[in-house]
Structure 1
Amino acid sequence: MKTIHVLVVDDSAFMRKVITDFLSEHPQIKVIGTARNGKDALEKISSLRPDVVTLDVEMPVMNGLEALKQIMHEHPLPVVMLSSTTKEGAENTILAMQYGAIDFVTKPSGTISLDLHKVKEELIHKVILASRANLRTMEKQARIETTTSPLLQSYSKIELKPSRPISSTARQKKIVCIGTSTGGPRALQQVLTQLPKHIAAPIVIVQHMPKGFTKSLAQRLDSLSRIHVKEAEDGEVLQNGTAYIAPGGFHLLVARSGEALVARVEQSLPRNGHRPSVDVLFESVSDLSDYEKIAVIMTGMGSDGTAGLRKLKESGNTKAIAESEETAVVFGMPKAAIAANIVDHVTPLEKIAETMMKYVDGQGV
């Protein structure tokens, strides 16, 4: 079993000691150094070459976000952020995900958390998970382009002036459902920013994330995308051209209300440790017999989404897309779906929006 070498970065000597002690309890983890700010961290990374970095967001001299940007530019490697649960902390955490951080752990009670033991197991788990991330993908995605893509331009033109008659398949009602986890915020940005404003389907999304962070994620993606992106609210009618993200800590389901589809947000028991759960969302969508369903599973650890996708396929009229290993930061969730033989297309991240749109437009693939 390979030893995971970790660099701990925090401006508090107390927090550095606590985090180091927690991580060192695991036989697979060795803390090879600590740093007190971002500038110190960059120097230590160059000399120590850690496998994973834990990085505090709020630090003097060079804060966590600035350090992260430089790390991803100069020495791309897996970073787990430690953040506060404040509104500003949530916004900074989402930015960190977009800049390339693998995952994050929230400090239970602010900058210096005397009760950090509450998240000890989560921290250990996420450091181990981060060590398995696809470094080639991280290096390739070190700089994400958020400008209008050729794909978006091409579909905007098709939308305004169709190049061919609209097929009967295109007239059928569509819904897109997406499931993702570790590495997902960045993957969602890549996909959603490529979609045209008037996509003829609502999009429902489960991104594994705790309460207090999904609203900031939705706002960030909304500011970058042509489509509208928001956190789902219980009872709201789903609209074409809008993406609805499950609120952290809540399951998102889709239900009928007359001729309309509405979001249902509830707190039933977690499914396989997840709430929101991709399986729960996909299973609810499987009941929509008169809709064509386009289901997408992207980067993430574990197998959430596979059972729900199987139900979708059994319900008929479903096309399934899984992110390919070459681009997935963590290939667990897509791999499980592919292994179950229920995926129609295995697609690199940059082609997922294009594949989705061909089905939404009724052109097939």
Structure 2
Amino acid sequence: MMSYRVMVVDDSAFMRKIISDLIEQEEAFQVQATAKNGREAIEQIVRIQPDLVTMDVEMPEMNGLDALKVIMKEHPLPVIMLSGINEQGMRETIMALESGAFDFIRKPSATTSSHDIEQVGRELREQIHAAMQAKQRRDAWTAAQPSAPVQPSAGKPPAHGAEASGPGGAAAASPAPPAGRALAGGGDSAAARQPLAGSSRPATRLPAANPAAPSVGREAPGRRPAKAPAERARPATRPAQSPVGGAKTAPPARPAPPPLESAAEVAAAREPAGGAAARGRPELRRSSAGFTDLVAIGTSTGGPKALKAVLEKIPGDFPSPIVIVQHMPPNFTKSLAQRLNSLCELNVVEAEEGQELQSGTAYIAPGGFHLNVVPGSAGGYRVHLTKTEPCNGHRPSVDVLYESLLPLQALKRHIVLLTGMGSDGAKVMKRLYDAGVTSTIAESEETCVVFGMPRSAIELKCVSHVLPLYEIGPKLVQVVK
């Protein structure tokens, strides 16, 4: 049996003991060393070279976030964060996921029941297994790639996990796929290889630019234009909160674009290539909020970093709402929304019951609730949150979100699956594809942290576009007209 060497990093000797015991309940995992802060961890990683590290977020001298950035830059390997439930810990956990951490679990406390501690142990061991499998598949995938370096091209963003994606990201960019690749569900289903952000692999140059990718009008690389309040429409229920707790003032709503004038224009706007009008689909209807399109995104492991990469490439005047399910516990989704809102031109909020959907806004399902999109007042659409049973082991579930879109045939629906373990979202994406939605997009293997959810959809032959992460935002700008 293959065994894996693990390092446990925590400033509490008591917690180091608990975490070590939980890990070693699996014979394949051996805790080779422990460290009491990030600085000590970095020193030991050089000497011991573990296969994986569990890292506490809040520690003295050097905290987990700062240590992670150094590890991802100098000694990339899978890191699982252990996060407390206070606000600072949740915020720093989201930043750690952006910086290349594989995933996180909620850290048990001294008062946590034995049943809950065992649950933490099961989740931790499952994540270690997933991280090791992903690393093996990434190594296999990398070994199968051509060794010749790809020539750089100005303006091309690096792949998921590349250094430019954020402080401490892995320095190597993934090779680019053929530009404009589109599949009707095609893909290498036999190769269950799962790339891992932060895994060691030979460095390549940045991939060549995709000439088909539309410009989203950004300024110089590394800089983001300030949000234009006059062009933003925010949900009426409450203003979004900034990451430091200050309320943003709700600007006036953006005027609705002119309505479509003829059945021919409706059909042309609805049908990018396939001729759904000939298949008897209902006529497109503009919502009372002035949009005709709706984007739905599902993701899990690796999702925070992937969402950042996608949403940063979408302008603030995007003429569609975006609804998102990220597998994440309660409260962490609020920190995720605040973080993304501070980085993107889009307005990003944690969804609330009854919110009317607005263009230029992304709504993240709150942890512990399923997010449904339902018809609202006066021809609009709104958020409906439920606490029904978990689906595919998750609440929120991507399948539940996607299923709520099936009756909304008056909208052009664009369905996206990003990195994640398991298959949540794939089955209902297939139903939506068969029902004739406008577009279905899956993240390609080379940029996935875990190529599970996208691969499941590809194998069901319900994906019209398989794209690396850095092309998904521009593709959405292109297809949402």
The normalised TM-score by structure 1 is: 0.90
* Contact preservation (8 Å) 2:214, 2:475: no
The residue number in structure 1 matching 2:94 is: 94
Q: Distance in 2 between matches of 1:59 and 1:150?
A: 44
* CA shift digits 1:175-195 (9 cap, x unpaired): 000000000000000000110
* CA shift digits 1:58-94 (9 cap, x unpaired): 1112111110111111111111101111112111111
Q: CA deviation at 1:123?
A: 1.3
Q: Distance in 1 between matches of 2:363 and 2:318?
A: 14
Unaligned runs of 5+ in 1: 160-165
* Contact preservation (8 Å) 1:238, 1:261: yes
The residue number in structure 1 matching 2:217 is: 153
Pair 79,250 (structure 1): closer, same or farther in 2 beyond 3 Å:
same
* Contact preservation (8 Å) 1:312, 1:318: no
Q: CA deviation at 1:205?
A: 0.3
Q: CA deviation at 1:151?
A: 3.6
The residue number in structure 2 matching 1:163 is: none
Secondary structure of 2:374 counterpart: strand
Q: CA deviation at 1:242?
A: 0.3
Summarize the alignment of residues 31-46 of structure 1 with structure 2, pairs less than 5 Å apart.
Answer: 31-46=31-46
Q: Which residue, 329, 340, 345 being the options, matches 1:210?
A: 329
**1:289 aligns to 2:409 (yes or no):** yes
Larger strand proportion of the pair: 1
* Contact preservation (8 Å) 2:160, 2:447: no
Summarize the alignment of residues 9-48 of structure 1 with structure 2, pairs less than 5 Å apart.
Answer: 9-48=9-48
* Contact preservation (8 Å) 1:287, 1:315: no
* Contact preservation (8 Å) 2:98, 2:166: no
* CA shift digits 1:281-324 (9 cap, x unpaired): 00101211111111110100000001110121132233110000
**1:354 aligns to 2:474 (yes or no):** yes
* Contact preservation (8 Å) 1:289, 1:315: no
The residue number in structure 2 matching 1:162 is: none
The residue number in structure 1 matching 2:207 is: none
The residue number in structure 1 matching 2:165 is: 144
Q: What is the number of equivalent residue pairs in this alignment?
A: 350
Summarize the alignment of residues 1-365 of structure 1 with structure 2, pairs less than 5 Å apart.
Answer: 1-109=1-109, 115=114, 116-134=117-135, 140-145=161-166, 151-153=215-217, 168=266, 169-170=268-269, 173-257=292-376, 258-361=378-481
Q: Distance in 2 between matches of 1:80 and 1:38?
A: 13
Paired residue type of 1:131: M
Paired residue type of 2:162: Q
Q: Distance in 2 between matches of 1:271 and 1:140?
A: 30
* CA shift digits 1:12-58 (9 cap, x unpaired): 11111111111111022121211111011101111111121100011
Paired residue type of 1:60: P
Paired residue type of 1:335: R
Unaligned runs of 5+ in 2: 143-158, 168-212, 220-224, 226-230, 232-259, 271-283, 285-291
Q: CA deviation at 1:127?
A: 1.7
* CA shift digits 1:95-115 (9 cap, x unpaired): 1111111111112337x8675
* Contact preservation (8 Å) 1:230, 1:244: yes
> What do you get for the CA RMSD once the two structures are aligned?
2.4
Secondary structure of 1:284 counterpart: helix
Paired residue type of 1:325: E
Paired residue type of 1:128: H
* Contact preservation (8 Å) 1:132, 1:330: no
Secondary structure of 1:303 counterpart: coil
Q: CA deviation at 1:129?
A: 1.5
Q: Distance in 2 between matches of 1:345 and 1:359?
A: 11
Identical amino acids, percent of aligned pairs: 49
Q: Distance in 2 between matches of 1:307 and 1:223?
A: 33
Larger helix proportion of the pair: 1
Secondary structure of 2:336 counterpart: helix
Q: Distance in 1 between matches of 2:55 and 2:369?
A: 27
Q: Distance in 1 between matches of 2:214 and 2:32?
A: 45
